[in-house]
Amino acid sequence: MLPLKVFSEQPVSEILASLVCDSISPVVKCEHCGRIHYDSSGEFMGKGELVRLEKQAKKNPQTYVKNDGGIHWGVIWANRTVINCPCNFLGWLEGHIWRDRKLISGYLLEKSTAVLEEAKRTHEDASKAALVE
């Protein structure tokens, strides 16, 4: 069997990990690499689910990742992303964000300025309309 994908050797920062993480579950599949993460306590799992997962992990240890506690995850590009997955997709993503930070920050500044100006115009138009009524 071929080894599963690893996107980056650079670990993700706590900053990005905390921004991405919005859920904790007992079992989560990382949709970037296909690894299935599970809580070794079996807490919040259906009857027999932990036994089934551990059997699968013995058959295919590359695909199953045993964790102590719930699995922290979020969604990036419509894919479940497990925080601290061995594929380190978030480390890869963070590397790209940092390398392109001038472009990204410029875009965010221009876009938010345009949205703010539009909101101000809408507010002014609504205020004028309210005075007319």
Among 58, 33, 53, 59, smallest CA distance to 41 is for: 53
Residue 131 is predicted with a pLDDT of 77
- To the nearest whole number, what is the mean pLDDT of the chain? 94
Residue 2 is predicted with a pLDDT of 60
Instruction: Tell me the one-letter amino acid at 97.
Output: I
Instruction: Give the containing element (helix H, strand E) for 25.
Output: strand 23-25
* 24-71 tens-digit pLDDT: 999 999 999 999 999 999 989 999 999 999 999 999 999 999 999 999
The domain segmentation of the chain, as residue ranges, is 1-99, 100-133
Tokens for 84, please give them: 């601290």
pLDDT of residue 107 exceeding 90, the answer is yes
Tell me the percentage of the chain whose pLDDT exceeds 70. Answer: 98
pLDDT of residue 132 exceeding 90, the answer is no
pTM: 0.81
pLDDT of residue 89 exceeding 80, the answer is yes
Among 23, 25, 21, 48, smallest CA distance to 36 is for: 25
